[in-house]
Amino acid sequence: MKTKQELKQYFKNGDIPNQEQFWAWQDSYWHKDDKIFIEHVEGLKTTLNNKLNKPSGTGFYFLSQNGDISNFQKIDIQSYYLLYWNGSNFAKSNIYYNNDKIGIGTNTILTEALEVNGNIKTTGLIATGLSNEQGNSDFNKNIIAKADGTLAWEDKTIGRLPFYSPREQATGEKWIDNKPIYRTTVSFDRIPSNGEINLLKNFSDNIETIVSNQMFTKWLARDIKFAGNQWQGQVFITVQPDIVKIKDVRTTDYDYSLIDSFILTLEYTKKTD
């Protein structure tokens, strides 16, 4: 192939170029029908090597750059799941969002704004929408757990166990050792003749400390009714965690089954708390 300077010498004024010179001129240039190879275009091969290829398939991608090399990386995405960065890629989290409802660990959200498949741990919970009672120091409601698994507001006077009940109940108070205090009330209408009442049949066998006791005795055979642990220095009632002893100190071998009724309320702590 001839250089430009060599070709110019064939076409000076007055010269008559021959066939070989015309052919040399044509062979020195690209015709529009000729294919130009990449290696014949200066720098094109290097440029193309650095070109970012189009990703294959459908979906969402992000561009990663490593020095002079660029690549597409597909985002691991699934409908309605929020994404998070796992250190090398965006991946599907376990947080499901659809129609302004959020599910954590579940995508079967029915009516609630938030549904969690698992436990929730929080250092604080704020309930709003309490209307005018929010700033009321006499606010008289409790949060209760309902049978359907929901929490609800309820008046403190509703749904409580009777304050005195044959069923053991927590008083909501604590003893000096910080253990919870329980209360049980039992009415005995049959008293053993020896005056000893076994408490283990009616009270917890787990009693550790008796915090207080209240009692009322109805004794029609002697025409007396009294509250407390003694009557006129003659009849004394002692209470232990497992037994109650009634003793008339002036009468030997008295038949205490003549006592019509004996009501006992114990407040106590438990060994296992």
- Residue 144 tokens read as 């209760």
Instruction: Give the burial string for 214-239 (b: 16+ CB within 10 Å, else e).
Output: ebebebeeeeeeeeeeebeeebebeb
Give the tens place of pLDDT for each residue, 7-62: 888 888 888 889 988 888 888 888 888 888 888 888 887 777 777 777 877 888 88
Cβ–Cβ under 8 Å, residues 109 and 121: no
How far apart CA 117 and CA 113 sit, in angstroms, is 14
- The dihedral region occupied by 99, where left means phi > 0, alpha psi between -120 and 50, and beta the remainder, is left
Q: What is the reported pTM?
A: 0.45
Give the tens place of pLDDT for each residue, 68-97: 777 787 787 778 999 888 887 888 899 999
- Residue 250 tokens read as 């002036």
Give the tens place of pLDDT for each residue, 106-153: 998 888 899 899 888 888 877 766 655 555 656 667 777 777 777 777
Return the SS3 of 227.
strand
The pairing of strands 207-219 and 196-198 is unpaired
How far apart CA 91 and CA 266 sit, in angstroms, is 60
Q: Where are the domains of the chain?
A: 164-270
Closest by CA to 239, choosing from 270, 261, 271, 207, is 207
Calculate mean pLDDT across residues 161-185: 88
- Residue 94 tokens read as 């376990």
